Amino acid sequence: MPIDTPISELVRQLSRIGLRPDERLVQRILEHGPAARAALLELAINTDALHTELPAALGPLHALRLLGELPDVELIVPLLGRLPIPITSDEDVPAQLYATEILQIIGRIGAPAVEPLWAYADDEANIPNVRSAAVATLAFVATHAPACRDTIIAESRRRLEHGGALPVTNGVATLLAELGDAPSYAAVMAAFRAGQIEKDQVAPATLRQVMLGGGRHDLSCVNHPLFERYDDHGPRMRGPNDPADDPLE
């Protein structure tokens, strides 16, 4: 490939490469910096492609993961705007991985993401469940940028104390549970009793188990660099004795 290959063509390669990009392609894409971010975002938000044939179905996932190496607050709104990600079956592996990792990728933005995520959650024009997801994403932010943790918890407690829109308080309850903030347990249970948290959106028993059990144990996945994501999360080919029709797991 010529050395002056446009970034648009390099990113298009991600929809043709299969299970994982090679290190040389990744390096060439990331060398383009902000120009790469724009091209990667265009592919990453093409979530309809997740449900097409392989290898094109993996293109948005590759692009999403590469965006995690180019964090920027400008990614927050367009990525959240793709939620929820439809998952059609257990074999819908590209969509499952994408849905699992999209909030992690936003979390890799770190401290600069805190205010934009609260602002997204407070905007009534956004989908209620996605507003909740924006708040829950702060658990990944706090894990990736631990210096933000106390500030995020303090703001979450303040919002729970003063009430507010249900999508926000739903997200706050999830956030405090996933961070394992046991001192907030009594306040969260009181908020459930007061109707400030919707039981059909946030299950009290599950939240209690997570909060008092030390929090969500996979939050550290936000810190995985690119190729560690492929090693730990896949996608992988199924074993030769697996009778499933779908070739991925």
Q: What is the pLDDT of residues 102-135, one digit of tens each?
A: 999 999 999 999 999 999 999 999 999 999 999 9
End-to-end CA distance of the chain: 31
Whether residue 2 has a cis bond before it, omega within 30° of 0 = no
User: Residue 142: which of 155, 153, 156, 131 has the closest Cα?
Assistant: 153
pLDDT value for 247: 59
Over residues 134-159, the pLDDT tens digits come to: 999 999 999 999 999 999 999 999 99
Helix (H/G/I), strand (E/B), else coil: 221: helix
Over residues 7-35, the pLDDT tens digits come to: 999 999 999 999 999 999 999 999 999 99
Residue 91 pLDDT > 90: no
Q: What is the dihedral of CA 136, 125, 73, 235, to 10 degrees?
A: 60
Which tokens is 54 given? 């392989």
pTM of this structure: 0.93
pLDDT value for 238: 65
